[in-house]
Structure formats: structure tokens, C-alpha cells
Structure 1
Amino acid sequence: MTRALYLEDAYAAQARARVVAHTAEGGVVLDQTVFYPSGGGQPGDSGRLSWDRSELTIATAVKGEGDQVVLVPAEPRSLPPLGAHVDQRIDWERRHRHMRMHTALHILSVIIPLPVTGGAVGDGRGRLDFDMGEVPADIEALEELLNEAVDRDLPVSEDWITQAALRENPQLVKTVGAMPPRGSERVRLVRIGEASEQIDLQPCGGTHVARTGEIGHLRIARIENKGRRSRRVTLTLG
């Protein structure tokens, strides 16, 4: 098991850790990590490991067996030995753009209250696919609503519920066909706003900013027709 420091504090860009395993493919497993592993449409973090006088560039992080997080080197290199203590540091600017965009996509799912059929978080760009018959006529109005939510500087927080509680509240799941892994006893919820100002609450395992104002200005780059009832809405930061 890898302790998920990225869930405990999304703003932690570095941490000390111990090497607990190497994978057959040349990956590194630590006892705890700030590297977010790719999943839920969000890319894995990149960064570096350093120990003694050595350094290893990490291209991405992926989920391994059980609750392991595997750090994938950018190129074949000597790995830190088992039991070694390493300093890990993520590419913070890239991660922060992912956090801003991931939170922005949650807001987009509020502005367009239709079933989500897919999505992806990119570096400064992201998209959601909606079960949508017609493209909205006034894209500028949608963009204005998005930025109004950002400018309200709403707090973004998390909560946890049981799988049973989620089954009793299926409306919390916005993505068609997406449910948390059956082996997970608890489900993480991400909330935007509080009390009467709450605008969103949905299951999510990604990293997010602490307040919507941190997202910055958003632009709807385009809305594409991806099928009879599928429309792809692409956002860009700044």
C-alpha cells in the first residue's frame, strides 16, 4: 500500500519517502507519495526523485497492484535501491494547472446539467462529453456563467461516504457508467461551495484547488459534435 499524500494535501509538492518495491517494468513504489497516479481523466504527475548523489526523472505515475502507486521513469536508469530514502518532488506548475482544470470541469458539469459520458483533464485544457441533443445557442452566456462561479471564490472541500450511502444517492454520480471500485469501502466526495452556496457535490478521486477563484478566467474553446447525442465541450485556462 502507498500512502496517498496527494489526497491528504493536494498542495504538497515534495516529501520524503522510502522505496518499498521495484516493478518488473522498471517502476518505483514508495511507502508514501505526492505523485498523483493517472485516473479519472487526470494525468499522472511528473517530477523527480533524488537520493545520495543520484537523481531520477519521473515521467508519470500510475496505479499498481492493490493500493500501490508506481512511479514511471522517463528513461531506463538505475533505480534507488530497496529501503533507500528518497526526496520526491513533483512538477508543481503542471500539477497546479491540472488542479485548476479539474475543478473547472466540475463547475462545467453544473452549468450544463446533463449526463457526462466522458472527460479528460489536460495541461491548461480539458473537456467533458455530454449526452446532449443540440449544441447550446449562446456559448458566450455559458462562458459567463462559468466565470461567475469562479469569481464567487467558493471553497472546495471533501467528504467521505460509504458505498452503501452512494448507492442510496445515485444522483451524486454524474458520469454515465462510472462507479467507484467495488473494493473501496469509502467514497470520496468533492464539494464546491458550502451550505446554501453549495453548487456541486460528486464522487471524485482527483486533485482540486482550495477555492474556485484560484482557477482563473475560463474560456470555452469549442463545442464539437461527437455523435448523434454526444457533444464535447473543451475549456482552456486563462
Structure 2
Amino acid sequence: MNTNPVYLTHPYRREAEARVLSHTPEGGVICDASVFYPAGGGQPGDSGWISWGGQRLGIATALKGMGDSCVLVPSEAASLPPLGSLVRQELDWERRHRMMRMHTALHLLTVVIALPVTGGAIGAGKGRLDFLMPEPPEDRDGIEAALNALVDRDLPVSEDWITEAELDASPNLIKTLSVAPPRGSGPIRLVRIGQGAEQVDLQPCGGTHVARTGEIGHLSLGKIENKGQQNRRVNIALDL
């Protein structure tokens, strides 16, 4: 059972029609297409609403289901749209867009702090990455300034696809030690920031991103926390 990932092919779509394929035993809804991003890679699932036949149901989150399906999880126990019915999906766009901005900002953080990533989390306005960093950075202000300089360059954000063999031949593309790109399901998606001589980042990622870094807006560097002998947690936040 496959769900067309509209959230990847058209990340700025806020609404879409889809047909209900099935219900899960837990009360989730699986459709043949989804504008809702299913939680994964540190990015939470999208929230919003689905409507059909005069009824409207809140969606608390979206999760990956069996195969390539996406499960929409209702925010409360309620009647579900019948199998085969046409529903209109509507994102909580403000929340999703803030996550797109933050996810792209965290990619930029890996450019400014060029160390292996051991963990991370994306929120609607705040995010963090854990780095293999035995000693704390000496210049906090310099990190924040470098991060915002990349934002201000308004670099384009695009995608590319490579095979598993091509990824194996370029292991330097993988920056995360804690999460490996999915294998066994075909080509692997790369997210590129900048083009040609202006390219600053290229790494495997299945999340949603803004079209240009200027859309992120100004960023603030938060706490840099000690998370073990070798790890430091770097927090950042959107100013608006």
C-alpha cells in the first residue's frame, strides 16, 4: 500500500485531495496521497485537518506505516472517513513552514560546525544538533554570525538523487552518525544548498526544506550543552 509523498514533491502545498485506502487498527487513516510529512529523521510529523462530507477531523501527527504508506493520526477518537471516500487534507501551514525553516537551518549549522553529528531534533521554531565535540567552541558569537551570513546569502535549496552504490563511493556525504540513510528502497535523496561554486552543503535527507536560505530568517544561537565526554548539544532558534 503506497502513499504518494506530496510533502516531498510539492513541499509548499498546503491542501490536497486524496482517497482513503484503509484504516489502521489504532484508528489512523491511510490515503493514496499525503501533504502531511510523516515523522522521521528528527523532524516531527505534520498536523492539520481532513474533511469530507461536511465532517472535519483534526490530525495530530503523521507517521510512517507499512511499506511506503503514511498514517494520519487523529487528534481525538472520532468517526473516520469511509474507505474509498475523497477527503481534503489541510496542513497546519504555519507549524510546517517553521519546521521547514528550522530543518534547513540545521543543515547550515553542519556547515558552520564541520564535525560529525551524533543526534538532533527539529521543532517549530527551535532545533538542536549534537556534535562529536570534546571541547566547547571558543567563539559563540562567531558561530552565530557565520550561520546568519549563510542565511543572508539567500542560497537556493534543491534536491538530487543517487544510487546506494554512489553513496557508498562518497561516504563523506553522510554527516550523521546516529541516523543512516534508508537502504533497499531505491534511489537516495540528497539536499543541496547552493549551486556550483556557491554550493555549501550536500547531504542525504528525506525532510522538508525551504526553497532558499533567505527564507529562514535571522537565527539565534542558544545553549551549548555538555552531553557526555565527547558530545556537545548546540541549540538554535528562529527569531520570528
How far apart are residue 181 of structure 1 and its match?
2.2
Q: Does 1:7 align with 2:8?
A: yes
Instruction: List aligned pairs for 1:53-202, cutoff 5 A.
Output: 53-202=54-203
One-letter identity of the residue aligned with 1:34: V
Secondary structure of the 1:227 match is coil
Contact 1:45 1:60 in 2 (8 A): yes
One-letter identity of the residue aligned with 1:137: E
Partner of 1:218: 219
Which range moves more in the overlay, 182-191 or 142-151? 182-191
Secondary structure of the 1:222 match is strand
Secondary structure of the 2:191 match is strand
Q: Which runs of 5+ in 1 are unaligned?
A: none
Instruction: Give the whole-Å Cα distance in 2 for the aligned partners of 1:198 and 1:62.
Output: 32
Contact 1:98 1:124 in 2 (8 A): yes
Instruction: Give the whole-Å Cα distance in 1 for the aligned partners of 2:125 and 2:86.
Output: 33
Contact 2:119 2:178 in 1 (8 A): no
Contact 2:41 2:179 in 1 (8 A): no
What does the per-residue CA deviation read over 1:87-117, in whole Å, with 9 as the maximum and x for residues that have no partner?
A: 0001000000000000000000000000000
Q: Does 1:203 align with 2:212?
A: no
Contact 1:64 1:70 in 2 (8 A): yes
Aligned residues: 238
Instruction: Give the whole-Å Cα distance in 2 for the aligned partners of 1:213 and 1:177.
Output: 29
Query: Normalising by structure 2, what TM-score?
Result: 0.98
Secondary structure of the 2:227 match is strand
Secondary structure of the 1:62 match is strand
How far apart are residue 179 of structure 1 and its match?
2.0
Contact 2:117 2:178 in 1 (8 A): no
Query: Normalising by structure 1, what TM-score?
Result: 0.99
**Structure 1 residue ranges, 4+ long, deviating more than 6 angstroms after superposition:** none
Secondary structure of the 1:219 match is strand
Partner of 1:20: 21
What does the per-residue CA deviation read over 1:166-207, in whole Å, with 9 as the maximum and x for residues that have no partner?
A: 011110000014322222211000000000000000000000
Amino-acid identity (%)? 63
Secondary structure of the 2:179 match is coil
One-letter identity of the residue aligned with 2:15: Q
Partner of 1:48: 49
Instruction: Give the whole-Å Cα distance in 1 for the aligned partners of 2:181 and 2:111.
Output: 21
Instruction: Give the whole-Å Cα distance in 2 for the aligned partners of 1:80 and 1:165.
Output: 43
- Root-mean-square deviation (CA, aligned residues, Å) is 0.6
Partner of 2:235: 234
